[in-house]
Each structure stands twice: as structure tokens, then as C-alpha cells.
Structure 1
Amino acid sequence: MTTPLTDTALDLFHTAIARADPAAAVAQQLARAPLAPLPTGGRRIVIAVGKAAVPMMRAALSQLPQPPAVALAITNPENLTELAGAQVIAGAHPVPDASSAAAGQQVLDSLADLRAEDQVLMLISGGGSALMVAPAPGVTLADKAAVNEILLASGLEINRMNLVRQALSRLKGGGICRAAAPARVTALILSDVIGDDLRAIASGPTVSPLGDRKAAAALLQTEGLWDKLPVSVQQALSAPEQQQDTPTADNILIGSNRFSLDAMAERARALGWEVASVVDDLTGDVADAAQRILDTTEAAASAHPQALLFGGETTVRLAGTGRGGRNQELALRIAEAADQIDGDWLFLSGGTDGRDGPTEAAGGIVTPQTWADIAATGADPKALLSNNDSNAALKAAGALVTIGGTGTNVADVQIFLRRPA
């Protein structure tokens, strides 16, 4: 049975997802700011890459005044589908393989020999860095995979890892712009990265790199990683580097976690709620995130109906063998702390892609009664939480949020609604 609080929370959750709809975001951007007309003899190349490549391409084709010379969409195998007017191919995700390399080469071939009167429209969404790859000359996919394992084990901060990855790629770190020069490049970007650093979204194919090969080599040597690298990688990073500036693209962010949070806030106010807080950096361990939410709700308590909104992407320390995901575990942790929260309240945590971990759920929705409801079924909620079995716990209480795949991904959102006692 739903309640008014449940209805409101689900309304806000779907508002967040709708704001991140890839097709709508592309269509609205191109309607608001159409691409410059092509000069006489000019060609338009449209390349979409990422998990949302197909709907983004479909929307772009519907808005362009004439069919492009090339329309290529590269997506993950699960989203592979035919699209009239475009070629759709699949790369591999999250680990690139030969199909990703073939996709990367096809992109480079499509951008070869462009002229100043030509235009390139890039449609970029999450997952792009694995779906199309083009290793530096002399470096194989196996070599790059070995480097990636070394970087992940090193504990380096993400942008320092990306410095190395970009130095070993012909596409990452502005590679699209260099390959397309002197043609003009416009990129419409759907961000799956908290903070919206364009260098991190799909590894920044239309953004200047974080540094050059020399800087990457120096970092690896300083961190004691150089001797662990394949010889081919050492040679590639030591080779003389031809100075080549990265042409500036017109990079336009058309969707992100923050955009979805703002849309939820606007909708909550329209429904009569006081938006007491909007937090756009809920990251780190899920237990710490739960405490931050509790602290925020306590500090914001008032005599008015309140909506507190959060966005980000947390992590879970796996200590058990259960099934769940970061959103379900976060919801279960808030349910466990029910006695610390005053008033009539509800909390929802969900992934905007409609999937949370290896489960059918997008997340969980809990109230002051949820923890007791789980126990009333004969289950032990604390034992389930300790076993990372949040899915079973929330399912027992009928507290899962299940909406199916949404076709987009701007990380996670959380909604806390409270009416004073």
C-alpha cells in the first residue's frame, strides 16, 4: 500500500530520472541552440559513444536539418539495437576487448582527412572510455589491461590514474579533437561523474589532457610503478613526443546528477515542500554516508514539512555473501537508525539507471516502521545487514524500489521527506 509520502518520493525520483533522459536532453539542447549551418561542401560527422549512445543519436538525427555524412553509435552489448539512419556497433564494458578496439579504429577512420568546413558532433555518455579504445602505437590491449591493474592496485587518485591512461591512448584526453582537426567539434555530454569533471567523463575525449607522456612517466617513476610496467608501455612513454595542441571543442553539459537534484528541488517546492538541503557530493563508504544523512536531517529539523535531497555515489565494504547494492544498503542503514529521527518520515535511495548492484531493484524506500517490519517476518535485519544482504531484508518488508532499466545514468539520488510530529 502506498502512502502520500511514498507517492511524493517516487514522484521526485522519477523527476530526477526524467531530467537525465538522454534523448530529451539532446533534443532540448539542439532545439535551444542549433548547430551552425554547414558551409558549402562541408560534411557533418555524428558519433555517439556510451551506454546512452542510441537514444542520444536518435534524438540528434531527429533535430538535424539533413542526414549526416557519418552517423556512428557505439554502445554496450545490452543496448545494441538497430537505428534508422545510423550504424550501431557494440564495444565491451567495463573491460575493453577487441570489439572496443575495432570501434575506436572506426572512429579514427571516420575523423580522418576532415577539413575546416566540416563539423563533428560528439554525443558522450558514461561507459565511453571502455566502449571505444585506441592504444598508443606499440601498445596492445593486453598491455593496457596490465597497466590498468597496476594503477588500480596502487591506490592513486583517479585523475593521476587518468593522466597515465590518457598518455597511452589516441582517443582519451582530447584525442577526438586532435583526430578531427581542423574540423570544428561540438560535444553534448551526459555526466555520470560526481562533480562533472569533463576530463573524467568517458576519459575526456574532447577535453585537453591532464598532461603529456613525460608527466605520466615521471608520476610512475615517483610512485615506484615504472619497473612493473610492460616494456612496450615503458617504450611508449619514453618516446619523443611531437608537440600537438589539442583544439578546443564546444563542450556542453546536458545532464548530470546536479541537474537532476535541481529538478527534484523545483518539483518538491511546487508540491508544497520546504527544500531544507540539497547535497550533491554524497560519496565514500555507505556507513559514513548514512551518518552524514542523519546529521543533516537533525540539523535541518523544523516545524514545516521538509524535503532533503542528496546525490552522489557511495561504496560498500563487502564483508558478507548477500545480495544488494549501495542504495539498498544505504536505505537499510537509515531504517536501522529510525529511533534517531523525529517526526513522520520516509527515505528513498535509488540509482537513476534503475539498477542497484546485481539485483532487480533500483534501491530502497524505508520508514520508521521498516526495521520492525523486517523482524516481523522472522528475518534478522541486523544479521542481513552484516551479511550485505540488503536486498533480502528490504524485500521482506516490501521496501524495494523496482522500476526497471531507465536508459540513463547520472549516479544515485536520495530523498528524505519529513512531516513534524
Structure 2
Amino acid sequence: MTGSLRHHAETLFSVAVKAAEPAGALRASLARHPLPQPGPGGRILLIAVGKAAIPMAAEALAQLGDAPVEALVVTNRENFRPLPGATVMPAGHPIPDEDGLNAARAVIAALEAARAEDRVIALISGGGSAMLPAPAAGLSLADKAAANRLFLQRGLDIRETNLIRQQLSTLKGGGMVRLADPAPVTAYILSDVIGDDLAVVASGPTVAPIGTAEEARVLIAARGLGPMLPEAVRDHLASRTSQPANGPAAQNHLIGSNRQSLDAAVSAGETARIVNDRLTGDVSSAAAQIVAAATATSTEPACLIFGGETTVEIRGKGTGGRNQELALRVALAMPDLGRDWVFLSGGTDGRDGPTDAAGGLVDAGTALRIRAAGGDPAALLAENDSHAALKVAGDLLITGGTGTNVADVQILLLGARPEAPRNPHLTDTHSPSRKV
């Protein structure tokens, strides 16, 4: 029974990922919001960035036909491939690198060359923030990388992280629009952010900043991050003034999201329902919510769907990711339900942390399998070594890169609870409510 539940969970996860297929999502959006055409003597400047950049750019190029186009595509190395009609550049993710810095310089140069008769089309998807590191004046790539690592390690959520990162960058927080001025910008955005705040997706290169420099400074002080940041970052933030609020604006269109993927999974899963489409915060709290939902569910078979993006505060030296750690925590915290169950937590991009896994797929036997392999599940969890724990249990979720990214999906499948055995000394004739 557990084996069939595991297969069903993987099938539903595949359905959720397919619902965020970038080319199809863009195609559907363009039926409502067509691509802009250049003015007389103008051209199209197509800039695609993120994990879904290549399929989105391919769809846009196909629809642009014979229009004069300069296309620049930036994506992570795993999804990198040549694309006819475009210059494709690889970049580091989740840690920015020199390749990403070179890509950012190319994007900046292209935007600065845009004229009023040109039209800029931006295709934005998750991961774009790390892939286009454009340090503000006085900062180095190493400064930004160190700051980014700190934000990941200290468990800042995506909005908090981007509030600060936008103050350290030339492109984030509306930078593409400011650089392209006077050319108008139209953006099509595949959201990996819960709640679909477009100012947060890829740090909002076509959207006004999340907040002010002062708000970033307040957050850093509240989290005690100041002493741990590079000196150049501290100096920059101390002297930073916010971008004017009345700058040029882009036309921004949302083409896909985590909620749309959850809805697709529900449509494909018998008895499925969404329990929480904003599963955020620390993985320990998220695991507690999932266990509580499992114990509160009736004896009938059930399919409980969650979606979101949790955080992990790193305390150990192990390897893993938020989905793997969430799966391991659920496996260790789930009480004896008296029924078969499986729990899947996966990143829709196919990558969870710096590992080859998308996440984890666990069941009631996970902890036993870890111990049988000589591991201590609790000790591995304390060391943030969820990848090692799930690997020895055979519970890693491996999908490879999916070419999309709409945050994370969690699926909890519960089998029917067997009826309690009947007392052989009682028969229907003894029932006071039965007429004989």
C-alpha cells in the first residue's frame, strides 16, 4: 500500500510541475497580453533571466516572427543550452559568481543602449536575482556573495532577503526599467514567490523597490546581522538613499504561480484538498503544521496539499535543503497513525539546496531505514544533514532540473485507517438497536 501511495505522490508532484511549464504559461498569457511591437525604426530588446529563461525566450521568439530582435538570455548552468536567435549566458545559482557578473554587465549595456522607439521585453523567473549580480558602486561580487550566504544561513525569508539585496544592486528593485528609460518595458513573470509579490520575484528588476534603505537598515539591526556583513556592505547601506518613487514604470504580467500548480495537483488527486497555500517560516513550524493536519484527518483516504517556501536556520555542517529537512522532520515527528501514509516535499525547479535532489519522499519506515543503515536520524537532523539521512533511507526525491520554478509543493497522502477488529463474542442479535 505504501508503495502505491509513494507512486501517487510523485505523480501529483509531476502534475504540479507541469502546470508551471514556462512556454505554455507564457503562451496563455500572450493571448491576453500580446507582445509589444517597436516604434518606427525601433527594435525589440528581449531579456530573459531565471531558471525558466530559455523556454520562455523560445516561445517569445517564435511569436515575434520577423520583428528585429536582440535577445539576451541568462539562466543557471543546469538549464543552459543554445537557443537559435539569442545569446545565452550561464550564471551561478544560488550563489552569484563571475559568470553571472559578466551576464549582468551585458544586460546593463543592452538596456543603456535602448532608445525611445525600442521596446524592452523582460521574461522573469525564479533564480534571476542570484543570476544577475550587479553590485552597486563600491561593492564587489565577493561582498554580495558573502551577504547572500549570510541571509540564507540566518533564515531570512525571500521578502526580507530581497529588501536588503535591492539596496546592494544596480538591477534589482526596478533597475531594468530605470536603465532602459526612455524605452518602455513590458515584463512577463513566472512567480516563485508565495503570494506572488512581483517586487520579490528575482528581486523585482521591473518593479519598484520593496522598501527603503532605512527599512533595510532596521531589518539588519533587528536580526543582529550588522557585525557579520562585509565592511563594504555596511558602509554602503549606511550611506544609501532610496530610489525615487516616481521613476518610470513597466507593464508587468503574472503568467504562472505556486497556487496554480497546487490547483492542478488538486484536480488530479482524488479526495485532494489544499490545506495551506502559504506554508512559510521555519521548517520546524511547517513540520508541526503537517503532522497536526495528518492527525486531525478522518479515517477515510485523504490527499492533503500544501505549497510555499520554508526556511532553514543552519546550525550544523551537514548538507541538505529546506524540502529535504522538512520531509525528514515530518518522518521523525509523525506519530503512529494506524494507517499507511507518505509525505513528499519538493522544489518545483528540481533542486533543493546545494544537492542533486528536489526534496524528500518519506513514510512511516523512513526512520527505521536510516537506523538500519547505521545512521542516527536525530543526530543527522541536528547537523542539518537531511540529504545524507534521506539518501541512506532511499527517500530522496530526484527529478533533475525541471526548467521552471514556482517555489515548493508538499503532498501528504493518507491511506484508509483499518477498522478495529470486531469482538467475536458480540453478534448483531445483541445490538439493542437491532430488531430481531
CA contact (8 A) 2:37 2:44 kept: no
Q: Distance in 2 between matches of 1:220 and 1:168?
A: 13
Match of 1:281?
278
Distance 1:310 1:63, change over 3 A: same
156-165 vs 400-409, greater mean Cα deviation? 156-165
Match of 2:340?
344
Match of 1:295?
292
Amino acid aligned to 1:415: I
Matched, 1:255 2:251: no
After superposition, give the CA deviation of every residue in 1:4-54 in whole Å (9 maximum; x if it has no partner): 322321110101111122233223322453224444333211101123222
Secondary structure of the residue aligned to 2:335 is helix
Match of 1:312?
308
Match of 2:268?
267
Q: Distance in 1 between matches of 2:150 and 2:333?
A: 39
Matched, 1:366 2:362: yes
Match of 1:30?
30
Match of 2:88?
88
Distance 1:154 1:348, change over 3 A: closer
109-118 vs 172-181, greater mean Cα deviation? 109-118
Secondary structure of the residue aligned to 1:366 is strand
Secondary structure of the residue aligned to 1:6 is helix
CA contact (8 A) 1:217 1:238 kept: no
Match of 2:404?
408
177-186 vs 327-336, greater mean Cα deviation? 327-336
399-408 vs 366-375, greater mean Cα deviation? 366-375
Distance 1:30 1:327, change over 3 A: same
Gaps (5+ residues) in structure 1? none
Distance 1:156 1:119, change over 3 A: same
Match of 1:170?
170
TM-score under structure 1 length normalisation: 0.83
Match of 2:183?
183
Amino acid aligned to 2:62: S
142-151 vs 62-71, greater mean Cα deviation? 142-151
CA contact (8 A) 2:177 2:206 kept: yes
Match of 2:196?
196
Secondary structure of the residue aligned to 1:360 is coil
Q: Distance in 2 between matches of 1:105 and 1:97?
A: 13
Distance 1:321 1:131, change over 3 A: closer
CA contact (8 A) 1:190 1:253 kept: yes
After superposition, give the CA deviation of every residue in 1:192-217 in whole Å (9 maximum; x if it has no partner): 22332222221111001234567767
Q: Distance in 2 between matches of 1:172 and 1:207?
A: 8
106-115 vs 93-102, greater mean Cα deviation? 93-102
Secondary structure of the residue aligned to 1:121 is strand
Once superposed, what is the RMSD of the aligned Cα atoms?
3.7
Amino acid aligned to 1:283: T
The offset of 1:125, in angstroms, is: 1.6
Q: Distance in 2 between matches of 1:217 and 1:320?
A: 28
Q: Distance in 2 between matches of 1:294 and 1:84?
A: 49
Match of 2:427?
none
Q: Distance in 2 between matches of 1:148 and 1:331?
A: 25
Distance 1:235 1:123, change over 3 A: closer
Q: Distance in 1 between matches of 2:355 and 2:221?
A: 41
Distance 1:178 1:32, change over 3 A: same
Distance 1:241 1:413, change over 3 A: closer
130-139 vs 77-86, greater mean Cα deviation? 130-139
CA contact (8 A) 2:74 2:90 kept: yes
